[in-house]
Structure 1
Amino acid sequence: MQIALYSRGFITEEVDNVLLLLAELESHGITPIVFEPFYQTLKSHLPFEKELDTFSCASDLEGKIEFLISLGGDGTLLDTLSYVRDTNIPILGINFGRLGFLASIGKDEIPAMVQALLNRTYEVDKRSLLHLDANIPLFGDVPYALNEFTIHKKDTSAMVKIHTYLNGEFLNTYWADGLIVSTPTGSTGYSLSCGGPVVFPEAGSFVITPVAPHNLNVRPLVVPDNNIISFEVEGRSDQFICTLDSRMEIIDSAVQLAVRREEFTLSLLRLEDSNFLHTLRNKLLWGIDARNAIGNR
């Protein structure tokens, strides 16, 4: 079994947890491939008897690994999409961050996680992605996202007008600070903080959520993900921000944008005793109410 490890950086407080993970893998004869910048940082904190293999781009992993482990928060896990791409390599996230909605495996579950990989006693969730098409090159060769696509005003400029179409038919002009199109996975992210609904991961939909709209009667909208959603942007500023997950590009009003469902999916692994409802209750405190306590029934 070949496993890759990815992390954005290294937090000194996590030394013991990284050591635990490496020891668990080594005890089962597994030597991981480590993201090159992460490995260089690790070497200054941890003793390695021999050099480990490293990777720095997607081609270093294709056909060589069975799983990719993300060490960090949800943002770190989102980074891994740029390395896994359409290879269908399953990703699992150990939460070294704060919320850990996607990176849902706790640090105390590291031994159980390694055992689950060895025994194949895990669950695989197929998560849909969205794809961005534009009339100019944007986001290199990774024009897709797991969470969301956004158009946003730049800096402190005035609100923007975003003319939005479904399959070429006019939907609405959003006067707002920006607009979010999220996948079901992304519905619990930026969209949720802007008033969007929670959508189950297996739902075949997009959520269109305005950011600080200047229309009181404009609300988030759920549409089937077989729609192509296109945009024209206007504003007093000549430039706007366009994002896919945590990646950003600066565009102008001449850029034509459209999002659609990506042709491939992303595989997220979870332990058997964890599911979406469990994560909702424990991470977002869904339904927490003193009246729901067992002793009060």
Structure 2
Amino acid sequence: MKNIGINVNSTKDPQYKMLDFIIKNIYSVSRDVNIKTYKDCVGLNAEESNKLDVIIVLGGDGTILNTSGKILGSDTPILGVNIGHLGFLTQIEVNSIEPALKSFFKSEYVMEERSMIECSFNTESGIKHYHGLNDVVLYKGIKNRIEKYDVFVDNKFYNSFNADGIIVCTSTGSTAYNLSAGGPIVYPSLDAFCLTPMYSQFLTARTIVLNNNSLITAKVRKNTGNIFLSVDGQEWINISGSVDVNITKSKYTRKLIRFSNNSFFKTLRNKLTFSREEGEIKKYEDD
């Protein structure tokens, strides 16, 4: 790794103390590197990303999702350093930066390639396409009553939901908004979509897990012009009129760096605070 980009969320590191600390630690491990810094993704795009061997992201999950969207089409991997709140997609905590960077430069990590999601819909100016790592969300406006959503899978009618909205997420995104809405946790390497209705009137409205090669079409039966669409929570797009939103597997993927000692289950325990006795966890980790 000779060319390293560092993208910092300035709201999480306003005085750039963590940025300086990371740069200092990188040079203490290897002097033979070129470091370029980016603040809040300014100047960062796919063409710029292709000049880099890795992008280290300082922030939380939102910063990683924002970075991923900015470099869409680039294969440059992302390594997340958590200076945010939850940081489920990040790999390095503040208290483990020095040993983590040493492991990184020794190539003691795993490169994971995560599937992404795409949504598209027609507008007066043509078809709009959006790609994300976590999810696509359709949601009613704040002043709106609940809406009726007709959902089709591979052009076959699945069900109608009277609900605030609908979430379709990747396996990676299953631990994000989907989980908050009562959806299941899905192992990140599975090629799956979760379709979760949000706060439906009906108790039987539950998540369905689908192959991510499926085509999901969501139709808003009575669109009052105050329905919003969001991809990875980065931007809320007002969809007016009667719009069919098609959701499929993206042609793009996202490479994330994971350290070998950070298993998915360890992350679940640490980030989602599963209720387990500390001694019991220690016993299994020692085994």
The count of corresponding residues between Structure 1 and Structure 2 is 278
Any idea what SS the aligned residue of 1:156 has?
Answer: coil
Q: State which of 191, 202, 208 in structure 1 corresponds to 2:189.
A: 202
Partner of 2:161: 174
Matched, 1:253 2:241: yes
Matches within 5 A, 1:142-161: 143-161=130-148
Q: Distance in 1 between matches of 2:50 and 2:249?
A: 25
Q: State which of 272, 276, 279 in structure 1 corresponds to 2:264.
A: 276
What value does the CA root-mean-square deviation take over the aligned residues? 2.4
Partner of 1:5: 6
Matched, 1:165 2:165: no
Structure 2 residue runs of 5 or longer lacking an equivalent are none
Q: Distance in 2 between matches of 1:138 and 1:197?
A: 35
Letter in 1 for 2:7: Y
Q: 1:36 to 1:105 in 2, by over 3 A?
A: closer
Q: Distance in 2 between matches of 1:138 and 1:191?
A: 30
Q: TM-score, normalised by structure 1?
A: 0.86
Q: State which of 238, 248, 255 in structure 1 corresponds to 2:225.
A: 238
Q: 1:110 to 1:119 in 2, by over 3 A?
A: same
Q: Distance in 2 between matches of 1:263 and 1:271?
A: 26
Q: Distance in 1 between matches of 2:83 and 2:68?
A: 18
Q: 1:14 to 1:111 in 2, by over 3 A?
A: farther
> Cα deviation per residue 1:189-240 (whole Å; 9 max; x = unaligned)?
1010111000000111100111110111111111111110001113463220
Q: 1:293 to 1:149 in 2, by over 3 A?
A: closer
Q: CA deviation at 1:83?
A: 2.6
Partner of 2:34: 31
Matched, 1:264 2:252: yes
Q: CA deviation at 1:69?
A: 0.8
Letter in 1 for 2:186: V
Any idea what SS the aligned residue of 1:17 has?
Answer: helix
Q: CA deviation at 1:110?
A: 1.7
Does the CA contact (< 8 Å) of 1:138 and 1:249 recur in 2?
A: no
Q: CA deviation at 1:89?
A: 0.6
Partner of 1:45: none
Q: Distance in 2 between matches of 1:18 and 1:252?
A: 42
Q: 1:233 to 1:59 in 2, by over 3 A?
A: same
Partner of 2:210: 223
Partner of 1:44: none
Letter in 2 for 1:260: T
Q: Distance in 1 between matches of 2:49 and 2:281?
A: 49
Q: Which has the higher strand share?
A: 2
Q: TM-score, normalised by structure 2?
A: 0.89
Q: CA deviation at 1:7?
A: 2.3
Q: 1:291 to 1:24 in 2, by over 3 A?
A: closer
Q: 1:88 to 1:281 in 2, by over 3 A?
A: same
Q: Distance in 1 between matches of 2:223 and 2:238?
A: 15
Structure 1 residue runs of 5 or longer lacking an equivalent are 39-54
Q: Distance in 2 between matches of 1:293 and 1:238?
A: 51
Q: Distance in 2 between matches of 1:4 and 1:288?
A: 38
Q: CA deviation at 1:292?
A: 4.6
Matches within 5 A, 1:69-84: 69-84=56-71
Does the CA contact (< 8 Å) of 1:61 and 1:83 recur in 2?
A: no
Does the CA contact (< 8 Å) of 1:233 and 1:253 recur in 2?
A: no
